[in-house]
Structure 1
Amino acid sequence: MHETIYRHNIIDHYRNPRNFGKLKHATHSAGHANVSCGDQVQFQARVEKGRIKELAFTGDGCAVSIAATSMLSEFAKGKALSAIKKLGEEDIEKLLGIPISGARERCAMLGLETLQALEAIA
């Protein structure tokens, strides 16, 4: 029963991703792609005093990739960049609510890898 609820949540985040779009006045950005399947994610953030104040992403990918990135974008707002860098696969599994299988691990982790790579825009 619980897995069904989590799967519905994943589909909802895939069809209606939160924080999707471009962010005006971004101070940080990063982009990554999963070359094996073609998924790609770009994050833009406004960071003040080491904390993510605003966050948006664009990209294209499978349901797991987009849903995990959408959920992560909600979770990351207000968090310190240093805390984001400490997140790992188990944290993404908690957000998704289901275990990540080997075939979908790279898909689920793409958003986190991208967010952890945020750099100041010159």
Structure 2
Amino acid sequence: MMKVIAERLAAGETVSFRPTGSSMVPLIRSRQLVTVAPCDPAAVEVGDIVLARVAGAVYLHLVSAVDHARGRVRISNNRGRVNGWTNHARVYGICVAVDGNPRPRTAGKAL
């Protein structure tokens, strides 16, 4: 399912879906409605939630570090586990809302 969502974001669509799992609690609880919009990866900051491909898997997780010089971001869950680094081309979108509530600091990052 996440791969299809990534493809839709790459095509320029804003997508709403209900991810499952507990790795992002309390920011996102299992089955909460999230809205993810295509974004400018260069504008992403630590603390943003993005949909990105890391090591062959697509995750909706936190940005825990940004390396502007290399054009990449580090993706982690909300419990301290680091999934890894990925380049800007593999950042498909930014979470702009959870259950209809806008996420902070997303203005100007969605395309």
Same fold (TM over 0.5): no
Considering only CA atoms, is the larger Rg found in Structure 1 or Structure 2? Answer: 1
Please report the TM-score for the alignment, with normalisation by the length of structure 2: 0.28
Structure number with the higher helix fraction is: 1
The structure, 1 or 2, with the larger RCO (C-alpha pairs under 8 Å, 6+ apart) is: 1
Please report the TM-score for the alignment, with normalisation by the length of structure 1: 0.26
